[in-house]
Amino acid sequence: MSSASATRPTTALLVDDDPTTSTQNARRLEGEGYRVTRAGDAVTALSLARQSPPDIIFVHMGRGGSGSTQFIQALRSNDATRNVRVALLSSYYDRSLERLGLTAHESW
């Protein structure tokens, strides 16, 4: 691995429709070394992800998560974004998300 790639920040796309939590989560991710791009809705996020796939996409999921589920399905159905890692940011977890290959991890 070259020194340039070793020091390159990991690119992250943060999808969050709430300005307050978006700002908080972006600051936290930046503090952990991510170069963060933000999207306030799924349509914008899909466009950004397709144009320049990030290393990881953080999705703030509200209770119910149906919009988040549809967004993740759209990512998985597109060749450019199919293999991008996705992390959900939520205090709510629905076992139905396991169908999308998602599992809960409570370390953040």
Q: Between these two residues, 46 and 1, which has the higher pLDDT value?
A: 46
| pLDDT tens digits along 43-88 | 999 999 999 999 999 998 765 555 678 888 999 999 999 999 998 8
Domains and CATH numbers, the chain: 3-100 (3.40.50.2300)
The residue among 63, 59, 53 whose CA lies nearest residue 72 is 59
Number of H helices, E strands in the chain: 4, 4
pTM above 0.85, yes or no: no
